[in-house]
Amino acid sequence: MTKLMQVAVVGAGNMGGGMLTRLCGLGWSVAVHDIDPQVQSHAAALGAIACGSAKEAAQLLSPDGVLMVVVVDAAQTEVVLWGEGGAGPVMQPGQSVMLCPTLGPGTVQGQAERLSQRGIDFIDAPMSGGPLRAKEGTMSLMVSCSDAVWQRSQTLLNALSQQVFRVGTRPGDGARTKLVNNLLAAVNLAGAAEAMALAERLGLDPAATLSVIEASSGQSWIGSDRMRRALAGDFEPRAHVTLLAKDTGLALQAAEEVAFDPPLGRIARGLFAQALAQGWADLDDAALLQLMRQR
């Protein structure tokens, strides 16, 4: 008899891979599906059960199991849940879908409604912090779900992270919180890249200047994380330029829906659009320093 899994992870790349690594390290039973065979093989080497589709992974879930969707965007989420080989049609009442990508609130609400019609519970749970923090269990999770699902999911959420924030009960509130966070992250990153480029133009030692900033009022986590790598010439992608480019667009769309005009957000979106136009979509978003150096 096939052993039933407590968790299935669909999308085991940067963040999903970090979360899967942590769960496997803590002894959880995990099924996994990823479209990249190398990613899937790595997950299997960690002890996860490799599956040929999201549907197959969902079919291995226990009656109270959780399907964690850790893909990039709304289109991929739709395929995972309702496309060919999708998980949604085979999931059962009492099981849950935990949606982790950064999505528009309307998309999250729509998926929650479709799942609810089948009696499937929903956890709106975008994440922040990067792959290393996902592995360590120190990333942030912004969770919105019903009281019953919140209580039932405590063991899993606490295994995934020491930084779990319940931001509401309404599907989409996790997404709204993540978009606010990522808008500020984009603004902070653009500001850090601008400051470092100016430091270089002024003839300062940029690494020494960054050390001063890190101990002073200009400090930001994303600025320190990205600029340290950028100053070392390391643009290997941990978070591709495309991700914050997408997220700033979603944040501005959400702002427009409530008649709010974010001027700094518009500037940040424009800078990420310039980085994409340079052909840097697949570089780490630390590449914004390169953009600022050109000014």
Residue 277 and residue 293: Cα distance in Å, rounded? Answer: 16
At 256, is the secondary structure helix, strand, or coil?
helix
- State yes or no: pLDDT of 236 exceeds 90: no
Q: In angstroms, rounded to a whole number, what is the distance separating the alpha carbons of residues 253 and 276?
A: 19
Q: How confident is the model over 240-262, as a mean pLDDT?
A: 95
Instruction: Select the CATH number that applies to the domain covering 177-293 from these four: 1.10.1040.10, 3.10.450.50, 1.10.940.10, 1.10.3720.10.
Output: 1.10.1040.10
H/E segment holding residue 156: helix 154-160
* Average pLDDT for 234-251: 92
Q: Kindly state the tokens that stand for 156.
A: 């899993």
Cross-strand partners of 31: 8, 49
- Cβ atoms 153, 37 nearer than 8 A: no
* 280 vs 276: CA distance, rounded Å: 5
Q: What is the mean pLDDT of residues 278-289?
A: 94
Mean pLDDT of 63-69: 96
Please check whether residue 102 is in contact with residue 243, taking contact to mean a CB–CB distance below 8 angstroms. yes
Flag whether the pTM goes above 0.85.
yes
What mean pLDDT comes out for the span 76-90?
A: 97
User: CA 119, CA 99: separation in Å to the nearest integer?
Assistant: 16
Instruction: Residue 227: name the closest of 293, 138, 182 by CA.
Output: 293
Q: Which residues pair with 9 in a beta bridge?
A: 32, 68
Q: How many CB atoms lie within 10 A of CB 282?
A: 11
How confident is the model over 1-10, as pLDDT tens digits?
356 779 999 9
Q: What gap in Å lies between CA 295 and CA 293, rounded to an integer?
A: 6
Strand partners, 165: 142
pLDDT tens for 98-142 read 999 999 999 999 999 999 999 999 999 999 988 889 999 999 999
96, 149 in Cβ contact below 8 A?
A: yes
How many residues comprise the chain? 295
178 is catalytic: yes
* 117 Cβ contact partners less than 8 Å away, ≥ 6 residues apart: none
pLDDT at 5: 79
In the chain, residues under CATH classification 1.10.1040.10 are 177-293
Structure tokens at 177: 């919180």
Give the architecture-level CATH label for domain 5-170. Answer: 3-Layer(aba) Sandwich (3.40)
pLDDT surpasses 90 at 283: yes
Instruction: List the catalytic residue out of 3, 55, 135, 178.
Output: 178
Classify residue 108 as exposed, middle or buried by CB count within 10 Å of its CB (0-12, 13-18, 19+): buried
pLDDT of residue 2: 52
Average pLDDT over residues 79-103: 96
